Amino acid sequence: MKIKKYQAANMAEAMSLIKGELGEDAVILNSKVTFTGGFLGFFKKRGIEVIAAIDPQETRMPAGKKKNMKTKTPAQHSLSTEQKPLPGQGRADFSPKQVGQSPVLKEMGELKKMIQQIQFSQGKETLPGDLPQLKRHLEQQDIDHETIEQLMASLMEGQNASKAEMLQKAKLFLMGKLLPEPISLFQKKYINVVGPTGVGKTTTLAKLAAESALKYRKKVAFITTDTYRIAAIDQLKTYSKILNVPLEVAYNAEDFKKAIERFSHYDAVFIDTAGRNFRNAQYVEDLQDMLSFGDDMETYLVLSLTSKQRDMEDILAQFSSIPISYFIFTKMDETSSYGAMFNMMAKYSINTAFLTNGQNVPDDLVKATPEVIVDVLLGDRYEE
């Protein structure tokens, strides 16, 4: 495949240059308006830059066959009224229906997308319509740059779409970056929450227990291993009274084993763990000594949406020796930035089970699905 860049005063001149050098079977991959020269920012000369390509095999077609083919005129190479770029955009799109679906042309289309992504990353591509606003919003949300570039390149293929259609396409693209919605939660008997101090694990655990008891009609119980803070035990005791469920405090592995035996006939047992400095590896080792992370336990890593993504990744790495079933992101009501949540889910292929948006038990708990995550990201806060 031969690819070449052309500079010309206008599209007609560029098409003439391309036809003269590459022939009538050349395909335009990309074009944009350029400005050169000038003095103190004035009197710049407007031009156009075009990237075109040709497959050498196409030019070696037998002469007899070429005679039977219709000869394309320069006018057929130019853009139709419907295909003309927006003013100042100077960009020609040739859809697969126009250029066919041969492997070579498919490769050209892929090259075109790569060129677009490079231009987006270098700030050289002019985005039409509402795309600049969407791009700024996702950047403000701290969405991964590569994801934004891929999305913009995808949306550029449908420049004539309405704003509603564009948002729907963006939504489907972002949902495609996440794992499908889990079939069901609370499938295992033991529900364990882990995470650093200050993320709201105990309150979240009470919300999960209420969800299980009220929605799934399960007989539930509490075990807490957080004996480092008296306030944490008192807090869970209060929740156990409100929900009318039993509570056992485990100070060591033997206590934990006895609690498990006591609650053997319960449907679901919710386990609260100590919130300590996640950078201390001993914390995770103590958890593994205390709990048995077997096949009958679901473990939820609780993270705060007010945390930086780098801290979230450090926390996940610290708990890497423990099988994490799902994320739970708390404090949705305390921030307006949700990009780190999306990035964590997409990068590590871990679903989010719930979001929390307040302190009220059993309220302020939102079941998270890929659609809910993307809706929150794009502006729907799910306050209720």
User: According to the model, what pLDDT value does residue 363 have?
Assistant: 79
**For the residues of 312-330, what is the DSSP string, one character each?**
HHHHHHHTTTS---EEEEE
pLDDT in tens, 147-175: 998 888 888 765 566 778 888 889 999 99
User: According to the model, what pLDDT value does residue 72 have?
Assistant: 45
> Is residue 182 within a helix (H) or strand (E), and if so which, with residue range?
none
216 secondary structure, DSSP code = S
Q: Is 164 exposed, middle or buried (CB count within 10 Å of its CB: 0-12, 13-18, 19+)?
A: exposed
Structure-model confidence comparison of residues 264 and 286, the more confident one? 264
User: According to the model, what pLDDT value does residue 352 have?
Assistant: 94
Q: How confident is the model at residue 384 (pLDDT cuts 50, 70, 90)?
A: very low
pLDDT in tens, 325-376: 999 999 999 999 999 999 999 999 999 999 999 888 777 899 999 999 999 9
pLDDT in tens, 230-270: 677 888 899 899 889 999 998 888 999 999 999 999 999 99
Q: How confident is the model at residue 86 (pLDDT cuts 50, 70, 90)?
A: very low
Asked whether the beta carbons of 276 and 283 are under 8 A apart, the reply is yes
User: According to the model, what pLDDT value does residue 97 have?
Assistant: 39
User: According to the model, what pLDDT value does residue 208 have?
Assistant: 93
pLDDT in tens, 40-57: 445 566 777 878 887 666
Query: Is CATH 3.40.50.300 the right assignment for the domain spanning 190-378?
Result: yes
Other C-beta atoms within 10 Å of 375: how many? 16
Distance CA 354, CA 326 (A): 9
Domain boundaries, the chain: 1-77+89-98, 190-378
Q: What is the CA radius of gyration of the chain?
A: 29
Give the strands of the sheet with 365-367, arranged side by side. Answer: 247-249, 220-224, 268-272, 190-194, 297-304, 326-330, 352-356, 365-367
